[in-house]
Amino acid sequence: MKGKIMEKFGKLRSATVLSCFLCALLGTDIAAYSQRTPEPSALLLGAAWYPEQWPESRWNSDLDLMQKAHIHVVRVGEFAWTALEPAEGKYELDWLERAIHLAGQHGIYVILGTPSAGPPVWMATKYPDILVTEADGKQYTGATRNRSNWNSGRYKRFVREMDERLSKRFGHNPYVIGWQIDNEYSRQSYDADTQAQFHAWLQHRYGTIDKLNAAWTTAYNNQTYSAFNQVPLVNGAKGNNPGLWLDSKRFISDSLRAYQRVQIDAIRKYAGPCQREPCQKITTNMMRFYGLFDGYTVGQDLDIVGLDNPQVSGNFNPIQMAPPQDLIRGIKGRNYWILETTAGPRGGGNASIQLDKGAIRDSVWADIGLGADLVSYWQWRDALNGGEQNHGALVDVDGEPDPIYAEWAQIGSEFEKAGPALKGTTVDSRVAILYSYPSRWTIDWQKMNPKYDAIEALMSYYTPLHELGYTIDIVPPDRDLSKYKLVIAPALNVLAQAEADNLERYVKQGGHLVFGQRSAMKDENNSRWPQRQPGPLASLLGARVEQYTALDDPVDTSGIWGEAKDQLFAEQLTVQANDVKVLMRYHAPHSWLDGQPAAVTRKIGTGSFTYVGVWPDQEGMKRAVQWMLNEINLEPDVFAAPKGVDIYKRSGRDHDIFIAGNTSHAAQTIALPTAMKNVLTGETVRSIELPVYGVAVLSKAR
């Protein structure tokens, strides 16, 4: 595959060089290119490259090493604003064009980063309003990475001008396959102008201040406002109104989306729309379950969603690594890019431990199994200075490869072998877990039990589903759920009426819905529903949460799922309809809970609605999940494997791909249910033997 790509690149090289010469001679831009490279491979391996940090005489050697490592794409430019605009209005883009063209000559594509995550010092000094003001009113001073104020009109003008210039120059460059906007959105400003924008946002949302007061029940604690400009943008500090907390987050999400839209529009002004392949896809790199903003809101305008997914714990844990990728895949409902991963050590203030030899390969193939089509390492070469100068890389400061380079090269070579088989495949799940940012925020603000964690609640269902062989989508509650056989909402604390209607429709059309603890307590304004849980769905369930309590010690439960211990939180249920079946009851002498229902279910046509008012221990939850699956006769998505071997499934039009990885610390033999082709070796096999951290990519025709 690499040879074919290089051959096609070679045919383009002379024409491209001539085109560049004519561009310079005639004063035109890169849009004069009349040819494009071949469509990139289905699987791409990458690294973050910062050519502006090194002498240009070094570039060719770096790219030679990348080519030998089977690296297919580099991310460039994301922190290069000063190199691109060393003084206001003075632009220098020629060096970037030379770097991109040289990468292309080595058969390496480029994802071009907009430099907006790190405005230049000259800009921050002359225009301090472009920097964030913290929630305490202090304006940030110092290094400018991730400190720019995306609500600043001045900064958005600077960003638009830079992005348009980059797009005009590189929007049709045959080597540029994508654009990464900014880098790890992570700082909200609370300056006076942003506060004014928040007031305008509130007025648009509510129309009148009286409607805001009614929605937030501001009569409580005498918090009533008489004008929108009295309402502060907050960061979730205790003591403020829960409605204010939630709308502050919504404003942050909407304003960030608007800032991102400025950049998307600037790029598309010259690059054109991404309506068919090949095209320059626009992305950004989000961070797992990061909670500053609503990822569904911010991600919806992107062509493809990107994720930063570092592996720095020293122990690759497939189950802990998978849910953030299911979430990222769920934003657009399709495959995604991992724009940063690392095997440690990680620089900055974070301690990290190097993964075992072979573990990074295992983890990268797991990424592919979960729906990634590109995995990029951060970073190519260690930096000489800066906050992350101790961060690991593929090449050290001396320009020589680090030991992990060989493992990365093996992955790149395998991507080229497996790319044709993986092309057009994606994850096709029949089970969904509902994840809501408002619910996560609300529980984080009002945990009731300090040990209660919304992500751990999600994991309590996710882990047994994964172990039992099911692929899982993590999606919002307003998504069309008709494709799913089972939908689980572990902690859907905030439930808008439209979302409730969507879930009721799902059940009445034959879907099977499960609510976990603390679900459907609050409406879209973060106010309590006037009905007891599950709020607007209580009549559908035919039962309700009579009362709830945090737990210091576990409480015994028993029933259809056997005996278990309820942890952290308990909800006492009351049955209100004759056809509701009690699944579990509490055993807690002298407690209000004693003998009361802990979990109930109701059949509704061909569908069902189950409410689980307990957080069972690990074995109890596994039995509960197995019961849910048995009730609907849902077979696993992947074949059985020994403990410690994880199997992932991607499906195409006429075949399925199974990716197996062994993290059990012992060699494993896996019997296959039918003959399959081992994509990496070309053999047809009925069983596979995996050494520790071994990987197999298997294809089965349908």
Q: Rounded to whole angstroms, what are the CA distances from 519 to 454, 622, 628?
A: 11, 20, 18
- Rounded to the nearest angstrom, the gap between the alpha carbon of residue 55 and the centroid of all alpha carbons in its chain is 35
pLDDT at 13: 36
pLDDT value of residue 140: 81
The mean pLDDT of 657-681, rounded to a whole number, is 96
| pLDDT value, residue 348 | 67
At residue 372, does pLDDT exceed 60? yes
Cα gap 437→253, rounded to integer Å: 11
Is the pLDDT score of 302 beyond 50?
yes
* Cis before 642? omega within 30: no
Look at 343 and 296; give whichever has higher pLDDT: 296
- Please determine, for residue 26, whether its predicted confidence score (pLDDT) is greater than 80: no
State phi, psi for 311 to the nearest 5 degrees.
-115, 90
pLDDT at 350: 65
* Mean pLDDT for the stretch of residues 123-144: 87
Helix (H, G, I), strand (E, B) or coil at 204: helix
The angle at the Cα of 637, spanning 633 to 639, to the nearest 5 degrees, equals 105
| DSSP β-ladder status, 431-434 and 472-475 | parallel
Work out the pLDDT band at 238, boundaries 50, 70, 90. low
Which contiguous run of DSSP H or E holds residue 503? Answer: helix 497-508
- pLDDT beyond 50 at 136: yes
Q: Note the pLDDT tens digit of each residue in 583-593.
A: 999 999 989 99
Confidence (pLDDT) at 353: 82
pLDDT average, residue stretch 61-87? 97
Average pLDDT over residues 498-512: 98
pLDDT score for 168: 98
Residue 246 has pLDDT above 50, yes or no: yes
How far CA 682 is from CA of 365, 670, 677, in Å, comes to 18, 18, 6
* Angle value at C-alpha 174, between 171 and 376, nearest 5 degrees: 90
Closest listed residue to residue 339, CA positions, set 513, 471, 177: 177
Confidence check: pLDDT of 19 > 90: no
Q: How far apart are CA 432 and CA 580, in angstroms?
A: 24
Q: For residue 518, which of 460, 468, 478, 467 has the smallest C-alpha distance? A: 460
The pLDDT assigned to 143 comes to: 66
* pTM, 2 dp: 0.93
Give the model's pLDDT for residue 1: 43
- Which pair of tokens denotes residue 57? 């005489």
DSSP 230: G
* 314 secondary structure, DSSP code: S
pLDDT beyond 50 at 18 = no
Q: What is the pLDDT of residue 177?
A: 97
CA–CA distance, 490 with 454 (Å, rounded to integer): 8
Which residue segments constitute the domains of the chain, with CATH numbers given?
37-191+271-422 (3.20.20.80), 431-631 (3.40.50.880), 645-701 (2.60.40.1180)
For residue 142, what pLDDT is reported? 64
Q: How confident is the model at residue 277 (pLDDT cuts 50, 70, 90)?
A: confident
What's the pLDDT score for residue 345?
76
Averaged pLDDT score across all residues of the chain: 92
Q: Tokens 């992305």 map to which residue?
A: 283
Averaged pLDDT for residues 320-336: 96
What would the two tokens of residue 416 be? 């080229």
pLDDT band at 522 (very low <50, low <70, confident <90, very high): very high
In the predicted model, is pLDDT for residue 73 greater than 70? yes
Spell 613-631 as b/e; 16+ CB within 10 A means b: bbbbbeebbbbbbebbbee
**Banded pLDDT at 219 (limits 50, 70, 90):** very high
Q: Give the alpha-carbon dihedral of 611, 612, 613, 619, to 10 degrees.
A: 180
The residue with greater pLDDT, 355 or 48, is 48
Comparing 138-152, 315-329, 412-426, 649-663, the range with the smallest average pLDDT is 138-152
DSSP three-state, residue 662: strand
d(CA 463, CA 201): 40
pLDDT class of 623 with cuts at 50, 70, 90: very high
- Specify the amino acid at residue 453: D
Q: Find the distance separating the first CA and the last CA of the chain, reported in whole Å.
A: 26
What pLDDT, on a 0 to 100 scale, did the predictor assign at position 632?
97
**DSSP symbols for 522-539:** B-TTSPBPSSPTTGGGHH
Q: Is the pLDDT of residue 437 over 80?
A: yes
CB contact burial 1-25 (16+ within 10 A = b; e otherwise): beeebeeebeebeeebeebbeebee
Q: CA-CA distances (angstroms) from residue 384 to 84, 147, 381, 388?
A: 21, 22, 9, 9
Q: What's the confidence (pLDDT) of residue 351?
A: 63
Highest-scoring range by mean pLDDT, 113-117, 146-150, 273-277 = 113-117
- Give 184 or 29, the one with higher predicted confidence: 184
The proportion of the chain whose per-residue pLDDT surpasses 70, expressed as a percent, equals: 93
For residue 672, what are its two tokens?
A: 């296959």
- Please state the rounded mean pLDDT for residues 358-362: 95
